[in-house]
Amino acid sequence: MFSETIKMKYETLTTQVKNEIAYITLNRPERLNSFDMKLGKELYDVLKKITTDNKIRALVIKGTGKGFCGGGDVKEMHKAKDKPKFLSELTKKSIHKCVIEIRTMEKPVIAAINGAAFGAGLSLALACDIIIAVKESKFCSAFINIGLAPGCGTQFFTKIVGYQKACEYILTSKVFSAEEAKEIGIVNKVVKKEELDDMVEEYASKFRTLPPIAVGKAKMLINKSLENNMLDHLELESKTASESAGSQDFKEGVAAFVEKRKPIFKGK
């Protein structure tokens, strides 16, 4: 059956596949969907499965209840006897692995922000490729407020907003609105609460018909552009374009263009 690999039950999240789009909903509403080791492990597990499932064209990540993700579970941090060890494991084995998987999978990932995205929750959102937020959403780096150096997110944030803005928001743990997030380039769309699901579906639907191989390679190139020099990147673009030209989707795309019809891409 279609995408059986992600249909197993998890304790901290729910999963669904609908018309070639995967949906992950963080499901610890009593803790504002905050990261503990269990959530990190389960989220990474399902992300890995989605990465290798060629039938899935895009991913949507959502949160249950009042928020998207409140960051690391502070109550768990408080209970930890060896706090440095706990934070090392929480960042490396839980949050970072998920962030890396989201950024490196050659599928578009949409974050649907329904409320608070704080700390590691903001980092999780920033790892996604498109961010849609309701007007009531609040964002904050948050780490400084509990005496903690940021365990993730500073690179993504700084590359988007620039050095001075990053210092303003991260060093002071400034809380900012969805509209402000859109102004500084973090959020793509701000919508009313009742419009969130429809707007997410509007974006997701685009990826149901676009060529998944080309979309995935384009995402890879965008990410590589942040680290490559111009000459190396031009070489990578040429190589990637040449490789994708061998796909059935490319043959279909150019044939449809010449024949003046809509292409039907199959991801092959």
Cα dihedral angle (142, 143, 144, 147), rounded to 10 degrees? 130
What distance in Å separates the CA atoms of residue 60 and residue 21, rounded to the nearest whole number? 7
In this prediction, the residues of the chain whose per-residue pLDDT falls under 50 are 1-2
**Which stretches of 55-183 are assigned E, i.e. beta strand?**
58-63, 67-69, 109-113, 116-118, 130-134, 138-140, 176-177
pLDDT in tens, 54-72: 999 999 999 999 999 999 9
pTM of the predicted structure, to 2 decimals? 0.94
What distance in Å separates the CA atoms of residue 232 and residue 248, rounded to the nearest whole number? 27
Amino acid code (one letter) for 238: S
pLDDT in tens, 103-134: 999 999 999 999 999 999 999 999 999 999 99
For the sheet with 116-118, list strands across it: 67-69, 116-118, 138-140, 176-177
Q: Please list, in sequence order, all residues whose beta carbon lies within 8 angstroms of the beta carbon of residue 261, skipping any fewer than 6 positions away.
A: none
